[in-house]
A and B are shown apart, each in its own frame.
Chain A
């Protein structure tokens, strides 16, 4: 686990301020490293710039200074493969489930020969092997999000970005999805950067947790979760970790206000 997958150094991003005068920093001198194959979470309150950070890594948002490097599996022979699971599934509803996955494969110029095999493998992994020919609107919200996960995994990305992917689901479905995600990762093992506002979700899923402060977003705490997987959602050690982190977060907030 020594090789890095993502290295971010001194990243800053400013937005024009809503009052119309000047700018404010959404992200200020942010640095972090994610090692290959690890699961890292970024936790922070709503509006702290987490999504902006993901969009910068995904290359759909610009930044003002600093450096973002995504290291590819083949040492930079090709461009980095980046996958994204959004809050909503963002599927192409007019394409069948398998064609949605093929869309990502085609976009990444992956040879047609392997498509069917790839589609089958990842649909099986997310437990939707029987739905390949169905249209997304016939599936439940949770199933649609599984398709989005299969699509993201199918291109075998250098980094998989997940932006609160379970926040639109009801809690029971979300809980099942988290457990399932754990199981899927045992088999697929991509590098994941997972953004959430829920500390419980972060400590349950991740090996590394980065906590972000608000305006400007800075990493104020980096924590390694050493509890072996698979984990139980009700593991008391996870609750303890969560409690400690919440305490620390509020301590940080008070410090900031002084």
Chain B
């Protein structure tokens, strides 16, 4: 392995430049208003030296996962049925459009009114905002299904379940994964907003607490910590899963 990789140089320069600029600007402000990179790092370390941080993060993570999984299941199932049955598609078309255009912030408030300070509120908010995107994406995918393969399956007398498992769903996997990555990014942002309004314990609640104490440094520290965690989940779980599912795509190098 070569130690010097010229292709990595622009990325490296951009990161160093960003840190230097940040440091320079932070010199003009109080650390609680805009901390320097080193100060921010110290806050992050402080957060994680307190055991309650892990409880807070795991609470939020649970809500993100519950909302994401429910959205993926509901959205995929609806998109699939809407695509395979044209009548169902035109029936739900306007429903999905209404959900997509309804202001996201209203759901966050409404779910607190409807469900109070319960676990249901943030999950409900995430699902209502995220699943319509999944539905639309999978529905689009069904429009690109290969008719020749469906014809092949029909000639070989493949039953409905077999066709679904081996012919239709695999063709929708690219749409499933693009929905999953977008939904994941959306879910955790929405979950935090929703926690800020409702939930008893969570990263969103921490953010409101530190906001009320005018502590920008702590807000940034919580924000970056959670962001790093989300990036790690994406890189260590979602991407490898996607690569595995699409391993058949690697065309021979000959």
A185 at the interface (CB under 8 A from B): no
Question: Smallest CB–CB gap between A124 and chain B, Å?
Answer: 21
What are the interface flags for B133-168 relative to A under an 8 Å C-beta threshold, 1 for contact and 0 otherwise? 000000000000000110111111111001000110
Tell yes or no: B251 within 8 A of A by CB: yes
Which range holds the interface residue count of chain A? 20 to 34
Contact: A92 with B158, CB < 8 Å? Answer: no
B21 at the interface (CB under 8 A from A): no
The answer to whether A90 touches B148 (Cβ under 8 A) is yes
Chain A CB within 8 A of B17 CB = no
Given contacts A90-B148, A95-B166, whether A107 and B252 have CB atoms under 8 Å apart is no
A60/B155 contact (C-beta < 8 A), A86-B148, A94-B248 known? yes
Within B152-189, the residues touching A (CB, 8 Å) are 152-159, 162, 166-167, 170, 173
Which residue from B155, B250, B252 sits with its C-beta under 8 Å from A84? B155
Contacts of B5 in A (CB 8 A): none
| Interface contact B152-A108, CB-CB below 8 Å | no
Q: How far is the CB of A104 from chain B (nearest CB, A)?
A: 5
Chain A positions within 8 Å of B153 at CB level: 107
Task: Please tell me if A206 contacts chain B, counting CB pairs below 8 Å.
Answer: no
Report how far A95 CA is from B152 CA in the complex, Å.
Answer: 15
**Which A residues touch B249, using CB under 8 A?**
93, 137
- Mark A73-104 against chain B: 1 for CB-CB distance below 8 A, else 0: 00000010011101010101111000000011
> Which of chain B's residues have a CB closer than 8 A to the CB of A95?
166, 170, 248
Cβ-defined contact, B162 with A90, below 8 A: no
A103→B148 contact, CB < 8 A: no
- Chain B residues in 8 Å Cβ range of A94: 170, 173, 248
Q: List 19 A-B contacts (CB under 8 A).
A: A60-B155, A83-B156, A84-B156, A88-B148, A92-B149, A93-B248, A94-B248, A95-B166, A104-B156, A107-B153, A107-B156, A107-B159, A135-B247, A135-B250, A137-B248, A137-B251, A137-B252, A138-B250, A138-B252
